[in-house]
Structures are given as structure tokens and as C-alpha cells.
Structure 1
Amino acid sequence: MSKVVLITGASSGIGRSIGEFLTQKGYTVYGTSRNPKNQDSYPFELIALDVTNTETIKKAVTHIVAKAGRLDVLVNNAGMGITGPIEDTPTDEMRKVFDTNFFGAIDVMKGVLPQMRKQQSGLIINVTSIAGYMGLPFRGVYSATKGAFELITEAARMEVKEFGIHMTNIAPGDFATNIAAGRYHTPVFEDSAYKRKYQENLDLMDAHVDGGMDPQQMAKKVYQIIKTKNPKVHYKVGGFMEKFSIVLKRILPDKVYERLLMNHYKL
């Protein structure tokens, strides 16, 4: 029987690539978007869901279960980016990103767990980020949301094991998507103490995304995880140096690693 998959944030980028790939592999896919448009351009059904609105989560899950009879996999992918010096970034904007990347993602987990528990089976794949393994300058808030989501997944996967539910993290590095257009950029204020360095790093971030990997690599890894009987706690998908940076943080003294990052970001 074809597995039923729910993918949040599936209107573009990584989420869309995963949805298209899994559909090709014979899965029954439901993608979500806050404002679904152009349904004819998607090979899977695109339904309305805003991760910051629990009513839309409940409605989407109810729709899927009523139509497909079950829900086997959640790819918890919806998220947003944010850049800026911590001092210059409005705290309200920080809260918005946590509401989406952290609390919203948790609410989607809460939305699917009762059905998975009823089935005594299910898989939740939480899309985090390699940036969540370290505090990156001018991306500190984003790093914090993804790092917190990694830890929540570690805790929750132990809590749900007895119900036959698996949970894992998948952390992408830089991918060629439109995430840069959708993230909140703290303005480069003329009177900011960080003006020059922040602008240089904004340019560097955009270059990294533009030169990023093909989202199909994430789609293939998600497919591999779905087929795995006992998924690992963590998966990373990115370039060699992105993944190696996590290893270096684990083995190098803190200040040595900090110096490497500062040199990389020209600080």
C-alpha cells in the first residue's frame, strides 16, 4: 500500500522537490502552503496550512486522514530565514521566526501524532539546518531556532518510540532555493556599528545559496530515510566542508573553532 506523506512548506524549494520526487516513487503526497496557488503545476495535492495557526494544521490533517485513511510520514519542512546583527534585529522579528521554525513545527508534530499513535506507526522527519549546529554571525537567530528544533527532536523521538513512531532530524546545508528572498533581513542601518561587516556577510550568504546544492539531493535522502527501518537520530545533507565543520566543532577547542568561523566570515 502506498505510504501517505504530508510535507509542510511544499510550494517551492526543498519541500517541492521532495514532494515531486516522492510522487514519482509512488507515494501519496500532500503538500502544504499558506496560500496554495497554481495547483495544476504540482503533481501532488497542495493544501492550505499555516504552521503558526493550529486550526489550519488540524483541518489539513483531518482532510488527509478522511481522504487517504491514514498518515504515514510527516516531512516537517516549513520554515523561514532571518539575518542581522543580534543588537540590530528587532526582538519581535526574532519571535516570529521562532513561531515558525520552532513552535510552529512542534504544533505540526502535535497535529499528526494522535493519528500515528492510533496507527501504531509513523515517521516524522524534521528539517533543521547545518546552521543549527553552531552560532553563525549575523545568522544567530536562525541558528538558534534550528538548534532548538534539533534538541526537541532528540527528546520527542524517545517519548514516542513506545507507540511505534520514529522521528529523526535532517539538516541541510546551502541549497539553490529561493530562501534568501523569503527571509527577514534586518536592514543595514546607516548608523549601525555593524554596517560594513553585515553587508559583506549578506553578500556572502546570497552567494552561498546561489551556488548551493540541487534540492534533489535532499529529496533523495528523505526517500532513503523513509525506506530505512530504524532511522538514525541525525542526518546531514550538504557539501563536504559544511558537514566537516560539525566534526571540527566537536573536536577543536572552542576558541580555535571560533577563530576559524571568524576568518571564514572575515570578522
Structure 2
Amino acid sequence: MKKVILVTGASSGLGLATATALTAQGHSVYGAARSIDKVKNATFNTIKLDVTDDASVNAAVDKIIAAEGKIDVLINNAGNGITGPLYAMPVDLAKKQFEVNFFGVVRVCSAVLPNMIEKGSGLVINIGSLAGLFGLPYQGLYAASKFAIEGYSESLRMELRSTGVKVTVVNPGDFKTDFTGNREKAPFLLKNDKLKGEFEAAVAAMEKDESIGADPSKLAAQICKIVNTSSPKHNYLVGAIGQTIAVTLKSILPGGLFVKLMNDHYGIK
């Protein structure tokens, strides 16, 4: 069944792969991006949308609904990453991280959901992260923003129970995209050689994991399955078993042991 789908952050990476795959299945897909001129050879409809700007979001959503009469599926994929020491993190950077990753989700949902509620059906897919289920050293702001998506989505699911609108969260592990190159790094300003060394080791480890991450098409295929199911689960873990198993380990291991395992992976002794 053909559906009208809005995918944010569709200019590259996971969003581009998802919008392309859904279009190939026959859906009417609108791939949104802050700079649509960066989207080359798109098979889907492109639309300008900046998740940090109310007017931009509302204009894009109104345009789609005017053309299609509805939005059946919203995929909140737009996001960015900031890495740095939480123990010396400028609040402005924290606000910047949340403005895209969390408030962007709130902003787009608030623009789309009234139409879904009116129609009595719809699906919201929020792209979270495995980092939204357990913390990561020196990716604390990113993790916090993704944890916020978990709480927001769970509460939203409760509120929409009687409306016919469903909410699910996809929690990806590492995928090979340009996310690594676009990550913003907060400066390390403390005069502490040990902590600086651990910071550098953690960044190197995360970039290595991302460089050998899965192809975005794997996530896109999972999202296609979710869109086509009548009863989506609340959460989907997508990634290498060596990463997704961490969710289980966190639930069964003593807290101190889990932290040690994570720190060992990231070179923190």
C-alpha cells in the first residue's frame, strides 16, 4: 500500500538510504534537508526543511499536506554529533546538540501529528541510537540527546494510544556514513595529560568503529519492514551483534562491571 512518507536528514547517510529504499517500494517519499542542493540524483521528492527552525518545519509540512492530503509516516532522522569531555563542556554546545537531535524531533512531530490524529492513523519512527540506551564516554551529549528521544517517544506512545497513531524508535549501532567527518569536537582545555590521553583514545576508538560500520542500506531495509508492518515494536536494535548485545549486558551485569567493559573498549583505564 502506497504511503506518504517524510524523512528528515535525507541529504546523505542513513536518511538518504532510507528515502531511496522507500521510494523503490513505491511510496511517495519526501526527503527533507536543510540544504536540498546537496541531494544529488535523488529518486524521491526533495523538500527544504531545517529542524531547528519552526517556520521552516511548518512550511515544509504544510506543503506536503497540501499536495498529498496527509502524511502517513514520519521518520525523524536528522541529527548531529558533538564529542568532548562532559566535565568541561560549554553549555552552548549542549544546547546545540539538543537543538537538532531532540528539539528537532519535537518540532517536526508537533507539526505532523495533528494531521495524523485527524486522519486516525499514522506512524512515527524516531531514529535514536544504541547510545540512547547506554552511556558512552566522551559522547555524553550525544547519548543524552538520544536518551531524551527514548523518554519522549515512550510518553508520546502513551498519549497517542487511542488515536491510531503509532510510535517506534530505531536504535542503530555504528554505520559507515559521513557522520564521522561531520562530528564536532569540543576543545580539550584542561591541563591533565591522563584525561587528555583518554579523551583522544576514546575518539580514536569511536572513529574506528564507525569506519568499519555497516552499510546504511541495512538500516534502510529494516525501516522498510517497519513501515510495512501493521504492528511495529516499540524499539528496534540495528547493528553488529557485538554492539547490540551491550543492551542485554547492561541489563544483567553489575553496574561497575558494565562501565569497566565500556571503558576498556574506549581505552579508558
- Whole-Å Cα distance in 2 between the matches of residues 213 and 40 of structure 1? 22
* Equivalent residue number for residue 168 of structure 2: 168
- Whole-Å Cα distance in 2 between the matches of residues 217 and 38 of structure 1? 23
* Equivalent residue number for residue 159 of structure 2: 159
Task: Provide structure 2 residue ranges, at least 5 long, that are not aligned to the other structure.
Answer: none
* Equivalent residue number for residue 266 of structure 1: 267
Q: Does 1:71 align with 2:71?
A: yes
* Equivalent residue number for residue 128 of structure 2: 128
- Whole-Å Cα distance in 2 between the matches of residues 254 and 15 of structure 1? 34
Look up the SS of the partner of 1:123 in the other structure: strand
Q: Which amino acid counterpart does residue 249 of structure 2 have in structure 1?
A: L
Correspondence list, 1:27-176, <5 A: 27-37=27-37, 41-176=41-176
Q: Does 1:232 align with 2:208?
A: no
- Whole-Å Cα distance in 2 between the matches of residues 218 and 112 of structure 1? 23
- Can you list the C-alpha shifts for 1:92-113, whole angstroms capped at 9, x where unaligned? 0111111111111111111100
Distance 1:40 1:136, change over 3 A: closer
- Can you list the C-alpha shifts for 1:123-173, whole angstroms capped at 9, x where unaligned? 000000001111111011111110110111011011112111011000000
Q: Work out whether residues 188 and 199 of structure 1, in 8 Å CA contact, stay in contact via their aligned partners in 2.
A: no
Runs of 4+ with >4 A deviation: none
Distance 1:240 1:115, change over 3 A: same
Correspondence list, 1:196-235, <5 A: 196-235=197-236
Distance 1:95 1:40, change over 3 A: closer
Look up the SS of the partner of 2:79 in the other structure: coil
- Whole-Å Cα distance in 2 between the matches of residues 22 and 200 of structure 1? 38
Q: Which amino acid counterpart does residue 247 of structure 1 have in structure 2?
A: T
Q: What RMSD over aligned residues (CA atoms) do the two structures have, in Å?
A: 1.3
TM-score under structure 2 normalisation? 0.96
Q: Work out whether residues 58 and 111 of structure 1, in 8 Å CA contact, stay in contact via their aligned partners in 2.
A: yes
| Residue 201 (structure 1) shift | 1.5
- Whole-Å Cα distance in 1 between the matches of residues 192 and 170 of structure 2? 36
| Residue 192 (structure 1) shift | 4.6
* Equivalent residue number for residue 187 of structure 1: 187
Distance 1:200 1:123, change over 3 A: same
- Whole-Å Cα distance in 2 between the matches of residues 40 and 242 of structure 1? 32
- Can you list the C-alpha shifts for 1:187-211, whole angstroms capped at 9, x where unaligned? 2447355221111221111111110
Q: Work out whether residues 39 and 45 of structure 1, in 8 Å CA contact, stay in contact via their aligned partners in 2.
A: no
Look up the SS of the partner of 2:86 in the other structure: coil
- Whole-Å Cα distance in 2 between the matches of residues 138 and 172 of structure 1? 18
- Can you list the C-alpha shifts for 1:32-52, whole angstroms capped at 9, x where unaligned? 111110555111111111111
Task: Provide structure 1 residue ranges, at least 5 long, that are not aligned to the other structure.
Answer: none
Q: Work out whether residues 5 and 29 of structure 1, in 8 Å CA contact, stay in contact via their aligned partners in 2.
A: yes
Q: Work out whether residues 12 and 39 of structure 2, in 8 Å CA contact, stay in contact via their aligned partners in 1.
A: no
Q: Which amino acid counterpart does residue 48 of structure 1 have in structure 2?
A: K
**Which range is displaced more, 120-129 or 131-140?**
131-140
**Which range is displaced more, 36-45 or 8-17?**
36-45
Q: Matched residue pairs, number?
A: 267
| Residue 21 (structure 1) shift | 0.4
**Which range is displaced more, 228-237 or 40-49?**
40-49
* Equivalent residue number for residue 21 of structure 2: 21
Q: Work out whether residues 6 and 31 of structure 1, in 8 Å CA contact, stay in contact via their aligned partners in 2.
A: yes
